[in-house]
Amino acid sequence: MSKDESWHNPMLKTQYELLTFPAVSNSSGAGRPSGGFIIGWCRELTQFIKVLKHLRSAVFIELSLPNNKPILITFIYFSPDRDFRRRLDEVFREIHGFSHHYKDLMVLGDANARLGQLNAALGKRRQSKDSTANDKGKVLLSWANELGLQVANGAFNGDRAGEITYISSSNHGSSVIDLLLYSLSLASLICSFRVLDLVQSSHFPILVTINEDNQVSPPTREIIRVPVTKKELNELKSNIDKKFLTILPESDPDTLASNIRDAILTAAKDSGCTKSVKPRIHKARWFDSECVTAKYLMKNLPYGTLGPEG
């Protein structure tokens, strides 16, 4: 990233845990380095953060809050050059692969794509001080639709007007190209979305606040236990027979299967043959982001960098 795009406010280091990845030069050596990242989060979240993967255009992080499913957060930077589409597709294919494990997704960063007031299909109405939607933005939205993501800019408290996130130092143009995309299931967790008024860069930082008070713990599940006495077994069989009499056989296959499952579970409850299963708790990790980053960088050093003894 160029100097007018890059920034590092020393004050941020006192308030947030910072994770940095340096910019990368082109393989040909021509042009300026690009793709560097400075990512920050409130220090109390450090124990819940895990770095999963780093590409030239993205950093993939897992956020595992207590009593909640893990969230995949992808920080992005897409250079507005001829490789834009290739790098965007590369990153979103990775996200698509991760989505088989992570159902809650966030994508945040400098997309160099303009959306105007467009949102993904079924997305909530949003405002924007940038009225232009370009081809890059439409490509980005197609991936958002594929993954079921919505656009947060101009749709949450703190940014109802859709503030400008970039001001050009050369032609004084402005746009909204620093974006947050999120899974609809995360809407209740996002307390606020703010574009910070810091002048060290042509880009304004984005601050997303997670509202932990709105977290919903997964409910305790009821499962059927094996009857331990003949009396329990006979009572369970009798209750299942009674429940089955209420099922309409002409129902479609999906409804019929659901009704059978519900009838068996209800009969088991009536017979005292169920037990509660506690939700899985994602335990906090003892290590911090510096350890995670150092481990990642060590694993990705070129072979022989540390010498024969390394």
In angstroms, rounded to a whole number, what is the distance separating the alpha carbons of residues 180 and 193? 9
Residues contacting residue 186 through CB under 8 Å, at least 6 positions apart = 71, 104, 105, 106
Contact 222, 269 (CB under 8 A): yes
In angstroms, rounded to a whole number, what is the distance separating the alpha carbons of residues 45 and 134? 36
In angstroms, rounded to a whole number, what is the distance separating the alpha carbons of residues 277 and 21? 42
Phi then psi dihedrals of residue 260, to 5 deg: -65, -45
pLDDT tens, per residue, the chain with 310 residues: 333 344 455 555 666 788 887 776 665 555 566 667 778 777 888 889 999 999 989 999 999 988 788 999 999 999 888 889 999 999 999 999 999 899 899 999 999 999 998 887 666 678 899 999 999 999 999 999 889 899 999 988 889 899 999 998 777 789 999 999 999 888 888 888 999 886 667 888 888 887 755 444 444 566 788 888 888 899 989 988 988 888 877 666 767 777 787 788 888 888 888 877 665 544 444 444 456 556 656 666 666 655 555 5
User: For the chain, what's the residue count?
Assistant: 310
Residues contacting residue 210 through CB under 8 Å, at least 6 positions apart = 45, 65, 189, 190, 191
The domain defined by 10-216+285-299 folds into: Deoxyribonuclease I; Chain A (3.60.10)
**Crossing angle of the two packed helices 84-98 and 135-147, in degrees rounded to 10:** 10
Domain ranges in the chain? 10-216+285-299, 221-277
